[in-house]
Amino acid sequence: MKKTLLLLTLFIGILTLNAQTKEELEAQKAEKQAAADALQSEAKAIQKQIDALPGWRKGAFGTIGGSLSNFSNWYAQGAPNNASGNIGFTFNGYANLIQEKFFWRNALSTNLNWVKLDDKDNPADDDSFKPTTDVFNISSLYGRNITKTLAASALMEYRTTLLDNFNDPGYLDFGVGATWTPIENLIVVVHPLNYNFVFSSGETVFESSLGAKIVADYTRQIGAVNFKTNMSMFQSYKSSNYSNWTWTNSFSYTLWKMIGVGFDFGLRNNKQEALNYALAQTPATATDFDDLDNKIQSYYTVGLSYKF
């Protein structure tokens, strides 16, 4: 009986000791966590002050997507012996100089994609990677501050393709006007005096003209999320047929270290490009702007992302 009571007492003592130890550890954890949260808040406040100082702000992120496959004697499909692949990537980078009296904002974005389908039973087919998505845009915006949120500005923006028909067409916008920054990370450019230079080879439908340029850009990082949305519009004073707009969006979420998942998509409306394509078909699907079926252009890319 005494042994039983002794063992029971020891057992209760051990449970009590463990309970006290657990409670003490949880209390210590809560105390340390509170201290860590306080230090993190202080660090964020200091970083915010650093970000507000004059100087350069630089950053970049991108998305990489791809797949490769190979089939041998897969008779259920039309080409039982083939190799196929899809490779694509996007890149978004910026370098902004922010000073008390002026700013100079520079941005580069590109989206490139290649696909291939090699029918091994057809020696005459093209087994190389062929470009599909081909987007390149670079811009430089300079402004002199009038107020805290308004500045007189000048913008240069160039966009073209890199892999196929480089600078054919190519678009160079240059104009002056005002830039509005109502909130942090949002830039709105309104330039009523802008010339849209269009470069092309041979006799084409492309034509340069004077017009208004409007650009809205929002780029931000929130924790592990990076995103950028950009709307660039040109309204020609000569004819609405020479107007165009492009809207691009990039998102990435970091999962581990610098690697994550990304998604990019874009929309574009450009009558000159649509008519140039229609005239190149056999037979031509349109002869002028009046009978043109101008559909919205679009693309998207999904894949792994890498934060530079």
- Is pLDDT above 80 for 24? no
Kindly report which listed range (176-180, 267-271, 300-304) carries the lowest average pLDDT score.
Answer: 300-304
Length, in residues, of the chain: 308
| Across 188-204, average pLDDT | 93
CA 158 to chain centroid: 17
Query: Which of the four pLDDT bands, split at 50, 70 and 90, describes residue 307?
Result: low
Stronger pLDDT, 162 or 258, i.e. the higher one: 162
Residue linked to tokens 């006007």:
177
User: Average pLDDT, stretch 205-230?
Assistant: 92
What digits encode the pLDDT tens for the residues 163-193?
888 898 999 999 999 999 999 889 999 999 9
User: Are the C-beta atoms of residues 94 and 105 closer than 8 Å to each other?
Assistant: yes
Residue 86: φ, ψ to 5°: -145, 125
Average pLDDT, the chain: 86
Place of tokens 């006799």: 203
What pLDDT does residue 262 have?
86
d(CA 182, CA 193): 22
Residues of the chain with pLDDT > 70, as a percent, come to 90
pLDDT tens by residue, 51-101: 666 789 888 888 887 777 888 878 777 788 888 888 888 888 999 999 999
What local confidence, expressed as pLDDT, does residue 7 receive? Answer: 60
Query: What is the band of 243 on the pLDDT scale with cuts at 50, 70, 90?
Result: very high
pLDDT score of 145 more than 80: yes
